[in-house]
Structure formats: C-alpha cells, structure tokens
Amino acid sequence: MYLIVFWDHIPTMVAHKYYCDKYAGLTVNKTVEQWNQENPGVATPAMQSNPVELVDKTVRFNLNEFIVYDTKDKSEMLGILRHTSELKDTRDNLIIAKHVDFSTDIMNISLGARGLRDYKLWLLRNSCEAEDNMQNWSAFKQFKRTFQDMGR
C-alpha cells in the first residue's frame, strides 16, 4: 500500500540531490571589473522600447545596451526542474555569469493543484541551497544588479 502513494519519493530525492551536486551552482567567467576594463565607458542604460522579450523559450531582460539577463526552465526526469539564469554580453554572446539551480515541480496547492502530484508535499524542494542560506543566488543577484545599474 505504501508504494501506491510513495513510489516516487526516494527516486525524486535521489535525482534532486544528484542534479544539485553535479550541476548546480554559480559560475563567474568575468568579473564586473574585468568587463569594465575590456569595455571602458561602454555601458549605457537599457533601451526602454523592449526591456523584456521571449527568445527560444528563454525570457530575456535587457539590463543595459550590451548586457542581457536570460532565464529559462527545463524539465528533467521525475519532475525535477532546472532553472538557469545567465548574464550575457550580446556583442559576442559571452556568458559572463551563470547560476543553475534545481527544484521539484510541486505547485502550492493553495494556488490550485494541477494534479495528484501537487498533493505530495513531501516531494517539495524549492532549491539546492537552504532557504536561509542562498549564497550563490544572492551573489548572482548582486552581480546582475551591478550590471543593471551601469550607466545610470
């Protein structure tokens, strides 16, 4: 009887831990200082005409004239979602910084359940990082904010 309801508990937790250990984290390919040295006086505020766009299942935010913030989600096995956030220099498509995180696709049931899986609250994982200690995500947001504030 246990397996009818809990069959996916252990495989989902193992898959989440595997993806977190192998792929999650923050990668900085170029610091703000390095980018500024290579591009002196280049950063200007984002054009206000199209600050957000959808490009190949990726939501793109224009932070300034040359830097964009791309975010996309991809389904992995057992209802694991890969969340990828990147800061890119659009002139050469260079990824300046990248943050990868994983969660389970369990929706808050107070918002309305999509199916039986949303009632399996024991499968809920919001991030690879502990909610009170999200250092990688905080560092990425600070990095993004610095590029966003350039030229203002």
Residue/partner pairs of 122-128 with CB below 8 Å, 24 or more apart: 122/6, 122/9, 123/8, 123/9, 123/12, 123/13, 123/79, 125/13, 125/16, 127/101, 127/102, 127/103, 128/16, 128/19, 128/20, 128/24, 128/101, 128/102
The one-digit pLDDT tens for each residue of the chain (152 residues) are 667 778 888 999 999 999 999 999 999 999 888 988 888 776 555 555 567 888 888 999 988 888 899 999 999 998 899 999 999 998 888 999 999 999 998 877 777 777 777 778 888 888 999 877 889 999 999 989 988 887 55
pLDDT of residue 14: 94
**Which 3 state secondary structure label does DSSP give 67?**
strand
Give the number of domains in the chain: 1
Q: Single out the residue of 29, 41, 37, 11 nearest to residue 104, CA to CA.
A: 11
* pLDDT at residue 26, as a whole number: 96
Which residue range is the domain that position 49 belongs to? 2-149
138: helix, strand or coil: helix
pLDDT, position 137: 93
Q: What is the pLDDT of residue 42?
A: 67
Supply the pLDDT for residue 49: 52
Q: What is the pLDDT of residue 43?
A: 59
> pTM of the prediction?
0.86
pLDDT of residue 13: 92
